[in-house]
Amino acid sequence: MSILVIAEHDNSNLKPATLNTVAAASEISPLVHLLVAGNSCQSVTDECSAVEGVEKVLLADDVAYENQLAESIANLIKSVSSDYTHILAPATTFGKNILPRLSALLDVQQISEIIEIISEDTFKRPIYAGSCIATVKSNDSIKVITVRATAFDPVNTSGGSATVDSISAEGVSDLSSFVGEEIAKTDRPELTAASIVISGGRGMQSGDNFHLLETIADKLGAAVGASRAAVDAGFVPNDYQVGQTGKIVAPDLYIAVGISGAIQHLAGMKDSKVIVAINKDEDAPIFQVADYGLVADLFDALPELSEKL
């Protein structure tokens, strides 16, 4: 049983969700290979071959993979798929974009966002925004799986000594092409990788008021998130969104400010180790999952919190 994990990277650095995905793969089999498809991505390859538990790195270094567009990458993975019993990718926008396409090319029913491995063919995954957990058995000969990163502790970035095999570009497609990218520049940690997250909801009342959260985030080294209600109201961009339709986070400390606690938001953060809720409505459902609840007006509480940190 060999497992192929698709490495997520930006041609310079390996994205941390890959490490959680390798951890999931290692639970199924010790024969874990990483596929790096990119352009001039030697530094990523070096990182990958040092990752704990990785036996081999497949490197497809070609200008065609610079922006990792789904059509070409899915064809590439398909070309090496016959060597593997399982193909895994992180359930990030990267993995979610590519793996179902691969899955259909292989005529396989993908298993999305697994949170637990029961056996080589049986997995647990949340459904209905995490209201229920389904146990699903795959009867396909190749298992194509996306992995919810927060459900698996990452493997170490060192300790491995994988060999590197170069593979040639295969099935390069011209159906799509890259135009541009706007990646939010911030000194704060990435939402899904941060150990502290502070999020605002509709109670923040405006996008400007998010600076109250940012001040605290900077003192704590935290990432800033938001509920879908705050995104829908146009306070902040969608990449801030924590929840079923946004990002899934599980930091050591999650501070929910002015967030009522809709099921769809809870689905994205209820696995956090410690949850703090600040809300002026003492009946808000967020208090039912919070370890520490403070019933207060956030416009009083946040400045005080910031001052005392």
Partner 1 sequence: MKIVVPIKRVVDYNVKVRPLGDQSDVDLNNVKMSMNPFCEIAIEEAVRLKEAGTATEVIAVTVGKKDSQEQLRTALALGADRAILIECEELLEPLSIAKVLSKVIEEEDPKLVILGKQAIDGDNNQTGQMLAALLNFAQATFASKVIIEDDVAVVTREIDGGLQTIKIKLPAIVTTDLRLNEPRYASLPNIMKAKKKELDIRPIEDLEIDVSSRTELLSVELPPERQAGIKVESVEELLNKLKTEAKVIS
Q: Which residues pair with 89 in a beta bridge?
A: 146
d(C-alpha 303, C-alpha 219), whole Å: 12
Residue 280 CB, shortest distance to partner 1, in Å, is: 13
Among residue numbers 204 through 263, which ones bind partner 1 (CB under 8 A)? Answer: 220, 228, 231-232, 237-239, 241, 244-245, 247, 252-253, 263
Stretch that binds partner 1, among 19-27, 35-43, 53-61, 135-143 (CB under 8 A): 135-143
294 binds partner 1 (CB under 8 A): yes
Return the number of the residue (42 or 97) whose C-beta is nearest partner 1: 97
Structure-token pair, residue 113: 């966002």
Judged by beta carbon, residue 46 or residue 252, the one nearer partner 1 is 252
Only segment of 48-56, 80-88, 188-196, 206-214 that touches partner 1 (CB under 8 A)? 188-196
Q: Which of residues 254-293 bind partner 1 (CB under 8 A)?
A: 263-264, 270, 273-276, 282, 287-293
- Residues of span 86-115 touching partner 1 by CB under 8 A: 92-94, 96-105, 107-113
Do the Cβ atoms of 256 and 275 come closer than 8 Å?
yes
Of 82, 161, 168, 174, the residue at the interface with partner 1 (CB under 8 A) is 174
Nearest distance in Å: CB 211, partner 1: 18
The CA R_g of the chain, rounded to the nearest whole Å, is 21
Q: Indicate the DSSP class of residue 65.
A: G
Give the angle 47-49-55 at the CA atoms, nearest 5°. 150
Biggest CA-to-CA distance, the chain: 60
Kindly write out the interface string for residues 40-79 of this chain, putting x where it contacts partner 1 by CB under 8 A and - elsewhere. ---------------------------x-xxx--x-----
Residue 60: both structure tokens together: 């497809």
The CA angle 209-295-237, to the nearest 5 degrees, is: 30
d(CA 35, CA 56): 9
